[in-house]
Amino acid sequence: MGRFMARNLAKGGHTLTVFDTHKEAAEELLSQGASWADSPGSVAAASQVVFTALPRPQDVEAAALGDSGILSGAEQGVAYFDLSTTDPDTIHRIAAAAKSKGVHVLDAPVSGGVSGAEQATLCIMVGGNQSVYTSYKPLLELIGEKVLYCGEQGMGAVCKIVNNLINLGNYVLVSEALTLGLKSRCPDRNHV
C-alpha cells in the first residue's frame, strides 16, 4: 500500500525520499524521480514530513526509534505521520521520544485496502496535534478522500481499531445470517 500512497504524493507534485528494507520495492518510485535513502533516519534528515506504512507495531517502533530510525535524523519541526494500523501505546512511546527533539508525531492509520491506496480513496483517521494536522491535511488529501481529525495523540489508532472491530462484527453477522438462511431452505438442516 505504501508505494501507491507514495506514488499519489509524487503525482501531487511532491519530491520524495524513500526507504524500504527491500530496495526493489521502491524501484518504481525511484524510476519516477524519487531519491533513495539508506535508512529511515536518512529519510527524515532529508524531509519536512515523513510517512510510514508498516505491517506491525514492532516495525513502526523500530523505524521510528531504532539506531538509524526516523528520530535519529529528524530535525526540530519535522512532522511524522504513521499510516499503519498500530496501537495507542506504541504511538505514545514514539511521541514521547520525539517530543524532546521537537518532532511532531501523528497517528494516521488508513482504511480502504490496496485499491483505496492505489485510487487515493482511503479513509485516514488522524490523532495528534490539530494545528500540525491542519497544516498537512492537503498532503493527506492526496492519498485519501476521507481525512478525519479524531482528536489527541492515539485517537487515530483507536478509531482504526474500532473500525476493524465493526467490520469483523459485520462479517460474523453476515456469515450467521447466510447460514441461518441456508438452514431454513435446506431439507436436511444438519448439513449446512
* 43 — pLDDT class (breaks 50, 70, 90): very high
- What pTM does this model have? 0.88
**Exposure letters 59-80 (e unless 16+ CB within 10 A, then b):** bbbbbbbeebbbbbbbeeebbb
* Mean pLDDT score of the chain: 93
| Lowest-confidence segment of 86-90, 96-100, 102-106, 171-175 by average pLDDT | 171-175
Q: Which residues are catalytic?
A: 160
Which amino acid is located at 107 in the chain?
D
